Structure formats: C-alpha cells, structure tokens
Structure 1
Amino acid sequence: MRKLAALVDDGASLPFASATAALRDAVTQRRLAVVEAPPGTGKTTLGPPTVAGCVHGRVIVTQPRRVAVRAAARRLADLTGTRVGDLIGFTVRGERAVTPQTKIEMVTPGVLLRRLLRDPSLEGVGAVVLDEVHERGLDTDLLVGLLAEVREMRPDLVLVAMSATVDAAGFASLLGGDTPAPVVSVPAVLFPLSEQWSPGPAPLGARGVAPEFLDHVAATVRTAFRERPDDGDLLVFLPGVREVRHVTGHLGLDAEVIELHGQVSPRAQDRAVSGRRPGDRPRVIVSTALAESSLTVAGVRVVVDAGLSREPRRDAGRGMSGLVTVRCSRSSADQRAGRAARQGAGTVWRCYDERTYGALRPDVTPETQTADLTGALLALAAWGAPRAEGLRLPTPLPAGPVREDEAVLTWLGAVDENGRITARGRRLAETPVSPRWARALVDGAPLVGSRNAAEYVAAAELGADGDLTDAIVALRAGRHPLSRQWREEASRLARLVADTPGHGEPPAATIVLAYPERVARRTADGAYLLASGTRAAAPAELAGHEWLAVAEVSRAAGNAAAGTGAIIRSGAPVTEATARSAAHELLVEEVRGEFAGGRVRARRVTALGAIELTSTPVPAAELDAGAVTTVVKERGLGVIGWSPDAEELRRRLAFLRREVGDPWPDVSDASLLDRLEEWLGPELARASRTGDLRAISLTAPLRRLVPWQVAARLDDLAPSRLAVPSGSTIRLSYPDAEHGGRVVCAVKLQECFGLASSPLLADGRVPVQFQLLSPAGRPLAVTDDLASFWSGPYAQVRAEMRGRYPKHPWPEDPWSATATARTKRRS
C-alpha cells in the first residue's frame, strides 16, 4: 500500500494529481464518484491507487479491451517497482496474473460480469472502478445497473465511473439515485493542435473499407511523416485489423512501423504504448480504435485519422448481426486528434473534409441499441433480472431486439417463457462464449469430439474468416496470425466439456449447431439461399460447394454481394446429410400452396427452413386453410384482388382509423395480413377446397372487422356519397388506405350554387375538399372554404368560362342562383 500511496504522491506532474483529494473525499464520504478526465491526464494511473488507499479489500478496475487491461497493469506495476501479478494484477479471458497480495486487479468488463454472476456479493472486493464508460460498451452498461444493485446489499462497496467524455450529471444521478454521486472533473491540458484535411476516395465499398481509400490513408501517412514536427511519432487510426495490415504493408517509410490491435502479442503491445528509446528510429503506430481513449501512446505528435470505426449492428429482417464499418462519431474524432497534443504542439491529419466532420453524429451509439443482446439477456436472466426489469441502465434496452433475442434464448432452452433462466441456461452462461457458440460447444462435443468442437468455436469467436476448415488447418500448423491465441482458447474451451471423441459427425457440424438457420445451399445463379430465407454471396474459397454451414454473414452491396444484399464472411462446406442432422429442428414436410394462373396449386414439400429439398405436385384437395393463408401472406392481398366496392370500403375505414382511432379497425396491408384468419377465415377455407382465390370478395369480410357498436355509424361518419344543392349525390373519393390525404368531392361548379360551407366528416373533424369542375369535367378550383370561393375567385372563373360554355349558367350572384346539373335550356 505504501508503494501505491507513493505513486499518488509522485504523480504531481500529471494533470489528474489536482483531483486526487476530491476523489479521496468522494470515496470516503459517499463511496461513489463520477470522474470526468480527458485522455492523457493520468486518471487510469492515479485514480485506482487513490481509491485503493481509501478501502479495504481489492480494487477491481475494468478496461474495455484486453490490450488496455494488460497495458494498464504493466504500467502501474512498473511505476510501483513491482512485478505484474504482485501488487498490480490482471485477468482477461484465457489469461490471469493475480496473487493473494494483489491490491489492484485490471479486468475486462466481461470478466467482471461473469465474476458477478458467480459471486454477486463480490467477496473480498472493496471497490470497483469502471473506466472508459463513455465508450458505452454493452458489458459496461450492464455492470452499471448490476453494481448499483450490489451496493444495495453491500453499501460499503465503493463504485467509481471514469471517463474521458461523459454525461457526468446523468451518470451521477444514475449511480447516486436521489442524491447524485459527486463529480470529480479534471480539465483537459492540451497544447496547440493544427488540423490538416486530406479527403480521398469514398471510404466504404462493397466489401467494407475500399482498398483505394486505404492506399490514400497510406499516402497521407507518408506526407504527415515527412512534415512531422520535432521528429515526433505518428499514430494512425483505422477501423480494424485488416485495414491496419493493409496500410502498414503500403507505407515504405524509414521508420519503425508497429501494429497495435488485439491480435498482436503482449510484447508488441508493450512496445507500441511505451515511448521511443534514445537512438531509435521514429515510430509509426498503426492502431485500431483501442488507442482512442483506453491507451496512452507515448511520444505521439501527429495523428492520422481515417474517420472510421467498427461497431455492432443488427439486421433483424435477415437474421444478421455483427460488426460493420461506419463513420466514427465526432467525439471519437476529437479524442483521436487530441492524442497528438498531449505532450507538445501536434497535428491531426483527417482523411475526410470539413463538411464530413460537421456531419458526424455527436456521440458514440450505445452498444445496447445496436448489438446482439442474447449474451446480455442470458446474463440478466442468470442475475435474476430478466430483460433488465428493475435495473437502472444508462440507456434502456430496446424492446424489439429484446423480444427477438429472448426468442433465440428460448429456442436454446436457456430461458423459459417468462425470461427466467433454466438449468441449461446456467450451463451456457458459465461457458465464456456467446450463447449460440456455447450451445455449439456443449452439444457439439458429443457429436464431433470435444477438441474438434472447441477448435471450431475458438476459430469463429476469434474472428477467423473465409473457409474455417482451411483456417483451422493453418491455425494448427502455426501459419495463421491467430494461431497462438487460438491454441490457448481452444484448449481452454475443450476443458469445459467432457473429453469425448464424438460420434463421427463432421467437425463443421459445430457451426450448424450454433446457427442452424444459416445452413445454405447454392442456387442456380451461384448465390446461396440460407435456411432463414436470406440470399447471400460467398467468397471464392467457399463458392464452389453445394452446401455451407455459415458462421458469419453480413450486409453488403455491389458486386461483392452478387445482387443479394448479403455476403458470407466465414463458414465451412458441409454435406446435405450433416445439414439435415445438425439442423433437424428446421426440417418440415408439409403440403404448400403456390399461386399460379390465378389459382392456388398444391405441392408436398420437404424443406430445411426456406430451402426446399423435395417437391411433388398433389391434388388441391390436400391443401388446408393454413396453406392458402400462407400463400396470401407471402404474396399479399393483391392475389385476391380488390373490387371497387371493397377498395372504397377499405379507404373509408382507413380514413376513420386515422381521424377517429379506436374502435375503427386498422386496415393497412400489414395489419390485414397479420389478422388474416380473423377476418377472412371462412373464405380462405373455401378457397382451400377450390384453389380459386379470385372468387373471394373482400367487402363482406372487411365489414367483420368493424365492431357492432359503431358499424351503424359508418355511413354517417364516412359516407360514400354526398348530397349537393342540385339534388345530385356525388361519390366521395377517399384517400389511399396506406398513405392518407384529403377526402374529395369532384362535382360540377353549377351544382354547388348557394353552398356556403364544406360539409364535415368524422363527427365534425374533417371538411370535405371540393374539386369544382367545368361542364367538360376539368378542374376549375379546389377548396374547402366555399364561402371565400364564391366571394372572391368565382368572379374570375365566371369571366373566363362564360364565353367558353355559354349554354351553362354563370350567374353574377352564385349565392341566390339555383344549383343545377342542367344547361340553361334544359333548366
């Protein structure tokens, strides 16, 4: 402890030193604090030791990435003159350096989340420090809510949230409840920063970041290196490992080029974040976003920012989720730029223009709003808070994705219908991979062997792409960049399941167990149809196979997607037999209808989800109402056809729904198709016997949707015809049911003489709009204020029309004239 106190005392040169007393007071008095301190001010160096001096027990500090965890632990150990694992330790997935003497333990949020599930009271822990909460990672957001509950059981537990840029007041209220937590702020200490704009080609192409844009980034780095001030180092920000490797391979500089990302060794990470030694060549550190705020890279005077980030996104419609490359937020761009001005005047080169910078979204999007939530929901169920009910989270979980992802957990057998965890769910929650891959490991080990299952799960979770079967051969041989991490991860996962050689299923069946709906078969045009119904293109190394087990598929555009809108990123070839066996829950045999020539024809189909395996024509009598209903739902109500009477009724009902609301029914396409059996059941049953959909009239079925209490008022509130002063009744034109608009009465002008005001529909809510026509039926005026029309514009219309239509009345005084549908002679 003396060494930690000495570290705080010796840190006077760091800007955060001015805040240690305030942090100490907040921890001592409230056992809560929100720390707001920009990158490079020393919050990670001085904050945890300051907290450690105020509490009994270990201080757990979360960092958002494994690289940052190791780097922070090594830096604090160096500053205290101790070895990593003694006074300062760390734990990341698959690696732990901790002893009973460890006072400060650096961990990733995922590690702490799993620890909480095992030990909700955090026995032996005196404080938790959540660092970089502004990044709004999914696990960190969950920890905010869970730790608030832990503090209700353990009021002695200290909780500190630290961030470079944060809604300090919001987090203070979230953590402190009625009495907000104290906020400890440290001002930014920045030297002058100059900006250089270096826009280039469009950054995003069909398969992610465009190669020509990466070449432009490399060219910008070369220019920035030549013009760098004071022989300083360069820090380059790119969205992912592939882009980092592309740019480093195209620099050609007389410099030490260092990659910094999650796949480089700990020694290389240390080399990147430590300062340049005397006599060393200048350094160019090419990094992913992890150097944005959670790591300080010493010696940097120039930053080159590609302006991109990799963030989770979901496509619920096609069952896809994963990381996608997008423009970074403005707050991220500013943090990156600030890295150049921490130790002296610096320069940022932005690979985009000022207009693009101004259009960037202000802040990062919370992962809770965009990521796959299955792992989070499983953790919450294990905690006893299904769907985060009752938890104070920084941002509530979105209702739609919660429903969708909880359905996945229900299919896995991990939660019951109320979202509560099952015994199987606890088994999956204890496996340190996502729930789907946990299922693949647990259920795959008996089928393909524990080692095979662990190897495929480790390869997929670490992000190996292309043909995973070939990738595993390279991983085993040590020829893959991920080989070291993969071996450690595969060995660790294999130890979690019973050691078994399996029952002879091909190892790629593991992928099918994780994502049965992604089994895919090649179509006639060379694309692949997934069991989910999505069409996707495949990379060259997979494209020749008839069947694929798909581990990752994402949205794409252009030639890469072969017009499908999606592209397979990783997977492995399988046989039809393996697909049938491992995805057996998707196998169906049923009679299906198809619409052709105005009739529904019957086929007996064996299918694996959306993939038809066999199809045989059968008599129409074998169809049931469900098969006909499916045809209508897939093709839309247009296969039946709207008669003029049915279309008019639908428009009138849609009008009342918009203007009055309940109990008038929703007659939009989506609602009608969703309630098809409710209002069209008898007609569909008859069509299943005849196959003739065109014989159905939709008018009477639509009326079934109108509650009897209001049915008699339909003609009063939304009449089909309107009586005008001439004695005629004119059909009203109601707007389209889907898009809305005005109710129009198109009538000859002479039939409305003396009509002072527009009739009102929907209980006086909506005036009819009059389209006043010439004798030839051409529009002369459009108005719902007839009094103003007769008193003003009518005079000009009369002057223009009298000579053109002399046989028709054009009285000088339209108020006293007799309305008529006739000519002067006939009148």
Structure 2
Amino acid sequence: MAGLERPGVGRLVPAAGQPHPGHGDLRLRAGRVTAPAIRLAELRPEAGELPVRGCLPDLEAALAAHGAAVLCAPPGTGKTTLVPLVLAAGGARVLVAEPRRLAVRAAARRMAWLLGERVGGRVGFTVRGERAVSRETVVEVVTTGVLLQRLQRDQELPGVDAVLLDECHERHLDADTAAAFLVDVRAALRPELRLVAASATTDTEAWAGLLGGAPVVESADPGFPVEVRWAPPAGTLRPPSGLFVDPALLAHTASVVRRALAECPGDVLCFLPGTGEIARVARLLDGVDAEVLQVHGRAPAAVQEAVLSRGTRRRVVLSTAVAESSLTVPGVRVVVDAGLAREPRVDHARGLGSLTTVRASRAAARQRAGRAGREAAGVVYRCWAEAEDGRLPRFPAPEIQVADLSAFALQAAAWGDPEAAGLALPDAPPAAALAAARSVLEAVGAVEPSGRVTGRGSRLARLGLHPRLGRALLDGAERVGARRAAEVVALLSEEPPRSYGDDLAAAWRAARRGGDGYAARWRDEVRRLERQVPGDNAGRSGRSGVTGGGLPPGDDAVVGLVTALAFPERVARARGGGAFLMASGTGARLAEGSGLGAAGWLAVAVADRPAGAASARIRLAAVVDEDTARTAAAHLAASAEEVRWEDGEVVARTVERLGAVELAVRPLRDPDPVLVRAALLTGLRREGLGLLRWSREAEGLRERLAFLRRVRGGDWPEVSDEALLERAGEWLEPELSRARRRADLGRLDAGQALGRLLPWASGEAARLDELAPERLTVPSGSRVRLAYGGEQPVLAVKLQEMFGATRTPEVAGVPVLVHLLSPAGRPAAVTADLASFWREGYRAVRADLRGRYPRHPWPEDPSAAEPTRHTAARRRP
C-alpha cells in the first residue's frame, strides 16, 4: 500500500507524516465527483413492502454508534437490495460484495428496478471481465474476488463509504478474507468506513466478535409457511464420491419433480449438486408440461435473465447452490431438494484439487426450503428420509478448512501478514494446508522463503487469478505472446465442457470456433487477461510463432507450455498403456480411448483421484515434449547420487530427475560409503536379520540374552527382531561400514556382533556365563548344552547321566526344565523336580524301557546310583 507502513502482523498504520483519516458520516468524501443522490421516496412501492425495512432504524443506529453491524435477515427480507439503497441515501457510495457473479447481476438488476432505472446508472456492478458502472453510480455490486483485488490495489478503498458483505454464512474463502481485510482497514486506516456483515443463517455472535463487538440487528422473517414432504428413494443408493452421484438418485429426483408438478401449483425449483446432474435430470424431464431451465454459474446471461423473470408458462428450474441465496426466482412455490452439494477438496500431498459431492448441511436445506415460501405458502420435497435429517452436518464446511489455500496465502502475504496470524478470520487456516500453499507460492516466485511477498507476487495478487495461472500468464506471455497465453489461461481458469474432450489443444480450437455460452465467456476472459499482461509483452501478437524456449510454432506446443507453467508438478511422462507418472510422484491414467495415449509427455491441467483408486484420473491435459517439461518445471530438476536397496541388492547410480520422474540413469562406480551403509540398513529392515550369518553359537547367545532380559531386566539388551533392527547401526559396526553388497552381510558373524550389546559398562557382561551358562555340568561329568528358547531353560540329557541328582539345577534363579532322554535320545520324561520324579515317576519309565535297553543300568534306587554315560556292557571288568 503506497504511503503506508505495516510494522506488525495484521495491523495497518499511516506512514509518518501522513494524516489519519477522521470520522465522518455516510457522505461522499471530499474531492469526489458528486453523483445524483438516492432518495428513498423515489423507490417503487414494492420497496416499502420488504420486511427488512422494519429493522433499518436499528441498523442505522448501530452503524452510527459502532461503525459496523451484523445484519441477520432471512431470505426475501430485502437485505441484499433495500439495505444498500438506504445506506446510499444522501449520496454515500456503497459497495455490496456477493460470493457469486450470478448473484451480483441479479442484485444490481433488482436495485436498479426499484429505482426505475437500468443497470449502470446509480446502481452498477462489476464481475471479472464485465463492468456496468458510470460517474453516477453510488451503489456498486461486486464479487468478493473483485473486492479483494481493489483492497490489494489500495487498502483505503477511496471513494467508498460503506461495504455490505452479503451471504457471510456461506463461508466462501474470498468472503472470509475480504471481511478480515476490512476489519484491518477500519482498525488502522479508515475508522469511518461502515461495514455490514449480512446473512440469512449464521453464527451472529461469532461475526459480531470478529467485527469488534458490533451490534447484531435482526429482521423479522417474512417467509410464508413451507410444508415439508419427505420423499426418500426406494432401495439402497451408492453414496456420492468425488463427482459421482448414483444415477438412481437422479432418476428418483426427476420422478419427484414430476410428482410435485402434479400435486402442487406454481413453479418448481430443484436443487442438484452440479451441471452434469442438472443436464441429466433435464433429459429425464423431457416431455413434462413445463419449461425446463438450467441455472448455474456458467449459464448464459439469457438463461439467467429468464430464470429471474416471470415466465408466461409453468417452469421447472434446475439449479446448483447458486439459487440458495442472494436472488429470488419469481413464481416458485415448490422446492425439490436432492440433498447434495459440491465442496472443494485438495490433496496437498499430490497437489490435486477438485470438487467433491457431499450431503447438504441442515443450514443449506433450510435455505433451499425457504425459496418455496418467498411469495406465498409453499412445499419442499426432500429426497431423503426424515430419520436421516438429524444426522446431516449443521453447517457447510468453511472453505478455508478444505480448499487449496494458495490464492489465500498470496492475498495474506501481499497484505503483509504471511502467516495470517493477525487477520480476523472466523476459522484459522490449517497449518499443513497453509504450508503447502506457501510451497506453491515460492515455486512461482510470489513469496520469499521468509513468506514475504515479492514484487512479482504483488502483481500476481492483482490479476484475479489463481497464482499458478497468474504465473502461466506472465511467463507464458514472454514466450508465446500475450494473446496466446491469455487464450490458454482462460481455458484453464474455467474448465471447458466435457464435450470439448480431454485434449486441451483440441479444446482451444473448439473454443475459438465455438458459438456456445462457454466460448462467449472464454472470449471475454481472454480480453480481460490480455489487458493484465505488462505492456512490454501485451504488444506481441502471439500468432507469429512461439518465442523462447526452443519450441516449434503451433497450438499444441503453445498450450502445452502454458499448461506446464501453470502446473509444473503435473508434467507427466508416459509409462505405457495410458499410464503416466507426474513429477509430483502421483501416478495418473487416461480414460479409455483417449487421443492422448500416444504422447510421451503430458502437462496435466485437471485430474482427480477417486476414493480407493491407485492412481489419478486425467481429465484434461496437453501434449508436451521433454524440453518443455524441463523448462516449466526447472525448479524440480535435480541430479544426485542415489544408493538404495532395490530387488534384494544395493544399487548405486547417478540419477537426473524432474521431481519424481527419472530422466537419465548412470551406474555409480564409487558410491559414498555412508549412502551404502544406509542402503544396507534399509535392506536389513525390509528383509530381516536372516541376511546375516547366524551360527549355532550366535543363535544360542541371542536366546541367552533374551532369557536374561526377561528374568533380570536391567542393562541386559532387548534382542527381538524389532529391537535388533532398530539398533542395527550400533551393534553391527564396524563390519557394516566395510560391507558393500548383500553378500557381505551374509559373511557378517552375528554372534560376534551381538557381543557388543552386552552390558559392559555396568560389569554385568562378565557374569554372562555365570547367569546364563551355555552348558551345564551334570552328575556324569558331561557338559550338556542348555536351550534358552522357551519360558524355562531346558536341559536335555540321558536319564542315566542324572543318577544321584536329587536337586533340580537352576539358572539365574530359574529352575531348569530337565528332559530325561532314553538311551536312544528320545524324551522319556520331563520334570522340573528331580527328587519327586525319582520317587514317583521313575518306576513307570524303568518298567517301560528296561526290556528294550537291557545293556543300560536301571537301578531300583536311581537317587543313590552312580551316574554314567556308558552302557552296562562297558562297565563290566
């Protein structure tokens, strides 16, 4: 902001020597051309019937005392049309911000009609690419996006005395951001600027708090009674996912519309989630005795005009959420609500943003139902069961919580608050989403690593485009000319109809020659964007061929480059069979039969990843070559030595990458030992300790250590697979650092390495053979190996070698489980109490085995007999 300093986050102050604007009333500020004032007496009689008129004295008093107010007025009260005219009475200039272009035009037309004028006189409007204002305009309706651009150009909003933010409850990100900026401006620059946050259903106390304790003014509900009729479909429907809506629900919705036409008088307004569903239901309604109109944000102006005017015959209006608020569709007595809505979602890890279909909130359902009672008593048919109603979310998800925050982060940085910590937002932006947005902004050169906006970022913030598209416009104009860059960016800013196909170059040609509504809007946007390009680029025709970057002339090359500049993380190399790998690391696949299947590289403009799908689905892309991909995604290029465990072996190579896409690979002869060591550790953790050489002694040592850990604890190490793998870099050194391949691990003596884990520092290691001896001396004199694999140590020994032993051996205080073996080495008995066995069990064993092994001694009293390792024959003289 020229002439202003921003010393603290979220706080604007006049620069030194600059006068602070003083308080004032709702009058034109000095130096402005005086426009014809609006007098309430000249309004049409219908204005006097609007219910909001009853609360206007309270609103004016609140603004006089506090400068801000929250106006809670149900649909149909006149908050959008009468309140701005009242604020403008006496000559004040009023700005009305609406979330949608359709609502902007409708509100401006309605206010102009109340004055008996045409739009562009004292009431005008501005949307992206279209403006109808004059020197006489004192009430201007704009989109919240346009308001943000004006605030970024000049935070003081010169010439504006009051701002009405309409439909705050919808929680659009631009609207939340504009409200926060205006609160900032009022606090530091223009305390006399009046601010009204208007809504039909919202958390008034929260908004009052954001506006500094502003009063809440409520208007009476003028609505006529609306009867609710529950009309759930029969059978089970598949839940919505992504853009998928079960065709059975659409067929049911169409049947409910037919039922409503038969049961109720008046026009029918049917709410559906998107344009595709509207078109499908329109086809299902073919032949009904009514005019079927389709209204959505992309509908041609003539259709919008027809919807907002009274028809000569009965009508069915199929609409997205644009008809929930801000405009009245005359003649409607019936609403059919399919119960769905579209909300933005973004996959930050993959850089994919899309719309997803969700259940409409209860607040949205109330708004929709209210449309049936604007002019008379009405009926709403809800296409779900009454029992489901209580399970619907109370309010729609705030866009700041679910959407791509790149544009918001740029707005905040350009405002001087990169972290958005000082902004009066209803909900704080999620930290992860804001960090992802900051990464995008750094990549396009809009912010410094500190988050501070760059000069380029300030320019991007004023373009009225997503930062990615702004980058494509500015950088693309330098290479292909302003006109061609603008044409491609206009394609990217509003996705072409599905009928244009998935090839952006073909869609570009279709838009050029098309006579449909999309092509008309596209041409308007092209003209707007071309004017946004700096003068040194705007003069290029863009039709004399591609300049810079080594690209050959032609539409395919141009559209590919500009698309890649917008979405560098989505340049993708073919894997075969219609599959691609994006630089972001996301796999993607073309639809069956796509004409793009033969391309080696693509710049993906639109892709989504259906729930449960292994890869993204490419819906719109342009063919590029490798040079173009390298040019657009230069910041993702890297060359590095890679040493990793792959297919059971250490692989060392030098790799040139474009993000996740490998461009060139060469073997690496002398890899960094540190990287080799890391790769070997990865191999161990993937494939397990079986890669090492485990002798019988090593296995035994591990079992002894596990036993001591279990019975003694303390400093004795944990030797489970998980623990040993976790500490592999510790106990396998220095052998591990000398290893270079899998075979070297197989030569590594695990037993010797395990000895490093013993508690040497405490001195306990010296007691290993005392506490858990490898072998135990038995009465015969033999040293017999102990097995530590079970809960108790096991001593497997021939029965005759234990003669004379009346006390069971112990290890670390734990009785040994003695397996007494027959002369053939087979278990004859198992005991942990030798004395008891000699008394009670031996007799049965002796009777069973004496006949089979007569050459071995079988004394009557084994507890007093001499132990022996030999047969009876060898003991004879």
Scaled to the shorter chain, the TM-score interval is 0.7 to 0.9
1:548 aligns with 2:606: no
Deviation at 1:349, TM superposition (A): 2.1
The CA deviation at 1:400 is 1.1
Note if 1:290 corresponds to 2:290: no
What does residue 307 of structure 1 align with? 339
CA RMSD of aligned residues (A): 4.4
Paired residue for 2:585? 533
Q: Which residue of 2 aligns with 1:736?
A: none
Larger Rg: 2
Give the Cα separation in 2 of the matches to 1:685 and 1:478. Answer: 67
Partner of 1:243: 277
CA gap 1:297/1:448 in 2 versus in 1, 3 angstroms:
same
Work out whether residues 588 and 607 of structure 1, in 8 Å CA contact, stay in contact via their aligned partners in 2: yes
Establish whether residue 181 from structure 1 lines up as the match of residue 229 from structure 2: no
1:593-632 correspondence to structure 2 within 5 Å: 593-596=643-646, 598-619=648-669, 621-623=670-672, 625-626=674-675, 629=678
Q: Describe the shift of the 1:678–1:188 C-alpha distance in structure 2 as closer, same or farther (beyond 3 A).
A: farther
Structure 2 counterparts to residues 566-605 of structure 1, below 5 A: 566-596=616-646, 598-605=648-655
Judge conservation of contact 1:529–1:535 (CA < 8 Å) in 2.
yes
Equivalent position amino acid for 1:614 in 2: A
Question: Greater shift after overlay, 114-123 or 419-428?
Answer: 419-428
The 1:162–1:503 alpha-carbon spacing in structure 2 relative to 1, beyond 3 Å, is: same
Deviation at 1:579, TM superposition (A): 2.0
Residue pairs, 1:92-241, within 5 angstroms: 92-153=127-188, 154-176=190-212, 179-187=213-221, 189-199=223-233, 201-202=237-238, 204=240, 208-227=244-263, 229=264, 231-241=265-275
3-state secondary structure, aligned to 2:135: coil
How far does residue 80 in structure 1 lie from its aligned partner after superposition?
Answer: 0.8
SS at match of 2:229: strand
Where structure 2 has 5 or more consecutive residues not aligned to the other structure, the ranges are: 1-36, 552-556, 693-698, 710-721, 774-789, 793-814, 819-835, 839-861, 864-877
**How far has the Cα of 1:79 moved from its partner?**
1.0
Q: Deviations over 1:218-274 (max 9, x none)?
A: 2332222222x2x31011111122222222222111211111111122232121122
Contact 2:226 2:372 in 1 (8 A): no
Corresponding residue of 1:432: 464
Give the conservation status (yes or no) of the 8 Å contact 2:94–2:164: yes
Per the alignment, do residues 362 and 182 of structure 1 end up closer, same or farther by CA in structure 2, a change over 3 Å counting? Answer: closer
Q: Give, in whole Å, the separation in 2 of the partners of 1:149 and 1:530.
A: 41
Say if 1:308 and 1:684 are closer, same or farther in 2 by CA, change over 3 A.
farther
CA distance in 1, matches of 2:227, 2:456: 55
Q: CA deviation at 1:196?
A: 2.7
Distance change >3 Å, CA 401–CA 347, structure 1 → 2: same
Change (3 A) 1:389 1:636: farther
Residue 679 of structure 1 deviates from its aligned partner by 13
Counterparts of 1:648 and 1:290, CA distance in 2: 74
Greater displacement, 263-272 / 31-40 = 263-272
Q: How far apart are 1:728 and its partner, in Å?
A: 11
Report the secondary structure of 1:325's partner residue.
strand
- Cα distance in 2 for partners of 1:648, 1:372 equals 57
C-alpha distance after superposition, 1:571-591 (max 9, x if no partner): 112223322333233333333
Matched, 1:316 2:348: yes
Structure 1 distance, partners of 2:626, 2:186, is 53
Q: Which residue of 2 aligns with 1:739?
A: none
> Are the equivalent residues in 1 in contact too, given 2:490–2:522 (CA < 8 A)?
yes
Structure 2 CA distance for aligned equivalents of residues 219 and 470 of structure 1? 38
Give me the TM-score of the superposition, normalised by structure 1: 0.76
* Counterpart residue identity of residue 263, structure 1: R
Q: CA deviation at 1:467?
A: 1.6
> Deviation string for 1:802-823 (max 9, x for gaps)?
xxxx989xxxxxxxxxxxxxxx
The residue number in structure 2 matching 1:370 is 402
Structure 1 equivalent of residue 58 of structure 2: 22
Deviation at 1:537, TM superposition (A): 2.1
Cα deviation, residue 34, structure 1: 0.3
Q: Write the distance in 2 (CA, Å) between the matches of 1:346 and 1:395.
A: 36
Q: How far off is 1:89 after superposition?
A: 0.7
Q: Tell me, in whole angstroms, the C-alpha distance in 2 between the residues paired with 1:627 and 1:8.
A: 83
> Per-residue displacement from partner, 1:760-787 (whole Å, max 9, x unpaired)?
xxxxxxxxxxxxx9x99xxxxxxxxxxx
Q: 1:213 to 1:694 in 2, by over 3 A?
A: farther
Q: Distance in 2 between matches of 1:646 and 1:474?
A: 73
Contact kept, 8 Å, 2:644 with 2:679, in 1: the verdict is: no
> Residue 574 of structure 2 aligns with which residue?
522
> Which TM-score applies when normalising by structure 2?
0.72
The answer to whether structure 1 residue 85 and structure 2 residue 120 are counterparts is yes
Report if the CA contact (8 A) 1:198-1:349 is conserved.
Answer: no
Q: Which structure 1 segments of 5+ residues have no match? A: 654-668, 705-710, 716-720, 722-726, 730-745, 749-772, 777-805, 809-824
Q: Partners of 2:152 and 2:84 in 1: how far apart?
A: 23
Question: C-alpha separation between the residues in 2 aligned to 1:414 and 1:73?
Answer: 35
CA shift in 2, pair 1:117/1:597, >3 Å: closer
* Distance across 1 between alignment mates of 2:44 and 2:118: 18
For the residues of structure 1 that align with 2:514 and 2:569, how far apart are their CA atoms? 32
2:833 matched to which residue of 1?
Answer: none
1:258 aligns with 2:308: no
Cα distance per residue 1:261-312 (max 9 Å; x no partner): 1112223212112233xxx220011111010122221111111112111111
**1:17 Cα offset (Å):** 2.1
Match of 1:797 in 2: none
SS where residue 44 of structure 1 aligns?
coil
Q: CA deviation at 1:538?
A: 1.7
Per-residue CA deviation, residues 179-213 of structure 1 (Å, 9 max, x unaligned), is 44343343363313121323263253675224443
- Measured in 2, the distance between the counterparts of 1:58 and 1:648 equals 88
CA contact (8 A) 2:242 2:356 kept: no
CA deviation string 1:45-80 (max 9, x = no partner): 222122223x76311111110000000000110111
Q: Contact 1:32–1:182 (CA<8 Å) still a contact in 2?
A: no
Aligned counterpart, 2:841: none
State whether residues 431 and 438 of structure 1, in contact with CA within 8 Å, keep that contact through their aligned partners in structure 2.
yes
- Give distance in 1, aligned partners of 2:369 and 2:704: 61
Residue equivalent to 2:448: 416
Q: Percent identity?
A: 44
- Quote how far apart the aligned CAs of 1:695 are: 8.5
Q: 1:648 to 1:73 in 2, by over 3 A?
A: farther
Residue 503 (str. 1) matches residue 547 (str. 2): yes
